[in-house]
Structure 1
């Protein structure tokens, strides 16, 4: 059986490092820094993000076990207007952050990570209004083949 994306990336420590590196890259980006520099991001934001990405990509259910569900994530990002350019920048920061975090340079892993984040950004952009988001949504699961059916 092939290792999950989570395992191949390096497990929970790798996703926490990725979340930290991504956050730093977003703060350094002249366009993305605005939403990332507000005081409304609580101190656990980076840890939650790392747990969310880890769970989506094959890790333990830490995020959904007490931190929220997919609807929580979508609601956090809804209602901010056209974010297409920010989405592209967000993906670029993520791709670069994988290097910063020391994730394996494995091309298959990097392609899976990028494909997931491109899907995730499109999913957020598809839910522009909070009212359009169902009250509960399970955390999606992304595999080597893409989005796993529910």
Structure 2
């Protein structure tokens, strides 16, 4: 019997949307992250974030139509955010898993935390003013075993 994807194990689209909403709220409430998160962005930011995470975690390709990984990196590229912002973003994500009521399974939570650690590091690598986003950057895929090829 095949193991469910992280997306399925989380509870599918409703659970990932709850995670994105909880994470966004935590970022708004954080004194360091509040400034960039309080600026008006895309009106469907939370929904698109959920679509991105769902796709990465084994769900439907709901973010690829919006430009995929290259689009996500392009949004953040060159913003010169300090390392502390990445750490706070990661911490908000870990705490948001509780807020969203995701399964309290240590292996599941560990897999999601490992994904977010990788994701934050990847985005932070594109924060310098002269950073470039690789054209056609593939969407990352994450499973119980980590990043997939």
1:127, distance to aligned residue in structure 2 (A)? 1.5
Aligned twin of 1:96: 95
Segments of 4+ moved more than 6 angstroms: none
Write the deviation string for residues 19-73 of structure 1: whole angstroms up to 9, x where unpaired. 000000000000000000012x121000000000000001011111x22210100
Aligned twin of 2:113: 114
TM-score under structure 2 length normalisation: 0.94
Aligned residues: 147
1:82, distance to aligned residue in structure 2 (A)? 4.1
- 1:34 aligned onto 2:35: yes
- Counterparts of 1:126 and 1:116 in 2: how far apart (Å)? 15
TM-score under structure 1 length normalisation: 0.94
- Counterparts of 1:11 and 1:85 in 2: how far apart (Å)? 31
Aligned twin of 1:7: 8
- Counterparts of 1:131 and 1:77 in 2: how far apart (Å)? 10
Aligned twin of 1:62: 62
Q: Structure 1 residues 82, 62: closer, same or farther in 2, change over 3 A? A: closer
1:95, distance to aligned residue in structure 2 (A)? 0.7
Structure 1, unmatched stretches of 5+, are none
Root-mean-square deviation (CA, aligned residues, Å) is 1.2
1:130, distance to aligned residue in structure 2 (A)? 6.5
